[in-house]
Structure 1
Amino acid sequence: MAASPSTARALNDRLALRLLQQEGPLTAGQLKQLTGLSRPSVADLVERLTAAGLIAVVGEAGEQRRGPNAKLYGIVADRAHLAALDVRTEGVTVVVSDLVGTVLAEAAVPITGDAGTGPAVEQAVALVERTAKEAGADRLHTVGIGAPGLIDPASGELRDSISLPEWHRRLVAALQERLPEARVSVENETNLAALAEQRDGAARDRDTFVLLWLGHGTGAAVILDGTLRRGASGGTGEIGFLPVPGTRGMPSATDCEGGFHSLVGAPAVAELAARHGVAPPAGSASEAAGAVRAAVAAAPPGSAHARFLDTLADRVTVGVASVVALLDPGCVVLGGEVGRAGGETLAARVRSRLAVVSPLPAEVRPSTLGGTAVLRGALLTARDRAQEELFGTP
């Protein structure tokens, strides 16, 4: 059945907006070429989108031709402002951007464990408000939050957890109360990091991959056929609870001690480094990541630093091999503070070990986004949500 004229117009408008988002400002001629539409159809959609306040003339094409230069059309970036939060147990980082994702302001605030739930929430909310004001945003259209912990698939809220501070769960409701016009949502930090790696990072060429998060917490995010998979209870990727050999016991329903986390979590990595005499540089924000970074910088074969990295790679391979055996993703990205610190040096060691223990081929890659992956993922999801609403869905 052929699409109705109104549906066809909506599809054309949506395609043009996506192209402007991906390619930047375009002329009507370029839109005609990229969309395959006729010149009159392109003229009509440009007129509709301009009248709706979604696009505007932002300049002229650089090539000089007979007559006037062609007008360049771009998305009206200040049509909406967005905020993204990376929520940690020790603090919050916030960025505010325009509709096309240009960061206008960024700030962070430490939140100590003894701050108390109410004061901690107030510090975080006030930080968002200050950063929005600095960015010149009168109001925020969408707020995306990345936080550790499980997301309830039914409610979209952070599930209660004894291992996380209560202010994490209270923050979403507090932001929605103080910013009643904003669309506020929360997502697991590892899932957001995976989405960022897929769009802008190490997995840009992959529709299916797993991000293994190695840091203060241990987890995994699963992208299958281009879609993030959360599972029936939102717990897909809770690999820290995976029972593994080499630990002092078994994990429980409330504690991952004894699971894979006990091999590769930040405390275990710091302990392993100390046993090998590998010390992090003075002033390192993370003892585990600092030790890994120091080992990578000075790891001649046979040295204590090399033996530390070899043992760490043995441990990481246990989790990677389990993921590959179950999901056959073809690619595993090592993220989190320890994964980032290990970089290609650690990834190469895991890759060689995986080839020995697994019959299934899989690339092992280091994250390319550094410590910005969660924040980048939160901003991308906020931008997508805002554009879905403002651009409309056919």
Structure 2
Amino acid sequence: MTSSDENAEQPWNPQRQRSANERLLLGRLRAGGAASRAQLARETGLSKPTVSSALAALEQSGLVREAGTHTPERGRAAVLYTPDPAAGYALGIDIGRGWLRVALADLDGTVVARTDVRNRARTSGSMAGLAVTTAHELVETSGVPAHKITQAVVGTPGIYDEETRRVRYAQHLPGWGRAGLFDRMREGLGVPTTVQNDANLAALGEYTYGAGAGSRLFVYIMIGTGLGMGIVSEGRLFTGAHGAAGEIGFLPWPGRRKDTLEDAISADAVVEAARAHGMTGELTAKSVFDAARAREPAAVRAVELEGERLAHAVAAVAAVLDPDLVVLGGGVGHSADLLLRTVRQTLRERTPLRPKVVPSRLGEDAVLLGAVATALDAARDLAFERR
């Protein structure tokens, strides 16, 4: 049954009408900024008495507040109203293999508190516990009343299965698919909590706050410990029939048997290529990129190889999705300045389909800000419903 069907079956009553009017005005104020009663009446088609009554109810419930006055050239000064950002808060949590990031934002989307901690957890249970503890500590130090936090969103590698309430395919977080793990996290956080794939959230974050803004269809390729992709079409996330759309790391890669695209394009692949070209010692993807910036030949060749392989992935994505923009992010993506020349040149050589390829503007904050943006949608609705 659709929501429209449900609404059609419910009889009209004054209380529902008042609620609809209040929601309409609140939506207008969020979208268009501060406005007076007269301006709201003109723009919504509601009568001035109806607008006044609805604003009074919204103000009494703490959802809107006065925002000064406006004096026109002719006429009396008018009181302006704006949504109160402190009417509710959203919690975003980014769980990665190396770092745990938590942010608290008001209903305007302003991050009012944030913390980043090293993820030194040895087990999935301790990792979940660290996320809950860190979130509570952040809220306590922020001064935000806990009851005002209306929604949390957790970003994690892998695909969250709503039916089994377990994460699948989080290969780089051992034990992360255990049954009941996220149920315990929800209980520990004490607020409505949803779980989403980190690349999907990064794509939403980049669309809302970064390079993807205004794109008709863009993809965010996350290159780090693993390889993933988020797809945003007309401002909406596309996840496929089972939530696995964008899991390009599973694509086969010509080479050793069972090799995948993730084996060819990831932090480990960069290190492997650097060793194959003669680099020695304790290596990380970051140290290889640093050496490439210093023009060390083996590192330069390893980075070029990564760019060529990445172009292969972009070409495949372009043929299937036809995006107008491809954003490179993740740990390896942070070094996109070294990759872009090779990626663009290889695309010119291999395919007539050449979407614009740019680095992430949000860097390591993409997943966290995507979690915040996603949580805000639900937080605003819940703040209104709880009034």
Whether TM-score is above 0.5 comes out as yes
* Correspondence for 2:374: 381
* Correspondence for 2:362: 369
Match of 2:320 among 317, 326, 329: 326
- What is the 5 A alignment of 1:195-210? 195-210=204-219
Q: 1:287 to 1:72 in 2, by over 3 A?
A: farther
Distance 1:315 1:270 in 2: 14
Q: 1:124 to 1:322 in 2, by over 3 A?
A: same
What's the TM-score once normalised by structure 2's chain length? 0.83
Match of 2:187 among 173, 177, 187: 177
Q: 1:320 to 1:8 in 2, by over 3 A?
A: farther
Root-mean-square deviation over aligned CA pairs = 3.4
* Correspondence for 2:81: 73
* Correspondence for 2:102: 94
Match of 1:143 among 115, 131, 152: 152
* Correspondence for 2:230: 221
Q: 1:95 to 1:305 in 2, by over 3 A?
A: same
Match of 1:291 among 279, 288, 291: 288
Checking the alignment, whether the CA contact within 8 Å between 1:218 and 1:240 is kept in structure 2 is: yes
In the TM superposition, structure 1's runs of 4+ consecutive aligned residues that sit over 6 Å from their partners are 3-9, 277-280
Distance 1:33 1:347 in 2: 50
User: Any stretches of 5+ residues in structure 1 without a counterpart?
Assistant: 251-257
Match of 2:247 among 210, 214, 238: 238
Match of 2:304 among 285, 291, 310: 310
Distance 1:67 1:13 in 2: 27
Match of 1:233, SS state, is coil
Q: CA deviation at 1:279?
A: 9.4
Distance 1:331 1:279 in 2: 37
Q: Deviations over 1:337-362 (max 9, x none)?
A: 1112214x523431332233223341
Distance 1:329 1:157 in 2: 31
- Amino-acid identity (%): 35
What's the TM-score once normalised by structure 1's chain length? 0.81
* Correspondence for 2:112: 104
Q: CA deviation at 1:15?
A: 4.5
Checking the alignment, whether the CA contact within 8 Å between 2:167 and 2:176 is kept in structure 1 is: no
- What is the 5 A alignment of 1:107-118? 107-114=115-122, 116-118=123-125
Distance 2:198 2:60 in 1: 38
Match of 1:220, SS state, is strand
Checking the alignment, whether the CA contact within 8 Å between 2:203 and 2:220 is kept in structure 1 is: yes
Q: 1:308 to 1:12 in 2, by over 3 A?
A: farther
Greater Cα offset, 75-84 or 127-136: 75-84
Checking the alignment, whether the CA contact within 8 Å between 2:157 and 2:170 is kept in structure 1 is: no
Checking the alignment, whether the CA contact within 8 Å between 2:93 and 2:131 is kept in structure 1 is: no
User: Any stretches of 5+ residues in structure 2 without a counterpart?
Assistant: 1-7
Is 1:133 equivalent to 2:126 in the alignment? no
Aligned residue identity for 1:234: G
* Correspondence for 1:259: 260
Checking the alignment, whether the CA contact within 8 Å between 2:328 and 2:357 is kept in structure 1 is: yes
Q: 1:68 to 1:267 in 2, by over 3 A?
A: same
Checking the alignment, whether the CA contact within 8 Å between 1:213 and 1:220 is kept in structure 2 is: yes
Q: CA deviation at 1:149?
A: 0.8
Q: CA deviation at 1:30?
A: 5.3
Match of 2:67 among 55, 58, 62: 58
Aligned residue identity for 2:84: V
Report the count of equivalent residues. Answer: 372
Checking the alignment, whether the CA contact within 8 Å between 1:146 and 1:378 is kept in structure 2 is: yes
Q: CA deviation at 1:299?
A: 5.5
Distance 1:66 1:132 in 2: 47
Q: 1:8 to 1:334 in 2, by over 3 A?
A: farther
Q: Deviations over 1:142-177 (max 9, x none)?
A: 111001111215456423755423357555322322
Q: Deviations over 1:168-215 (max 9, x none)?
A: 7555322322344x1111100000000111111111121312111111
* Correspondence for 2:131: 124
Distance 2:280 2:375 in 1: 40
Checking the alignment, whether the CA contact within 8 Å between 1:216 and 1:265 is kept in structure 2 is: yes
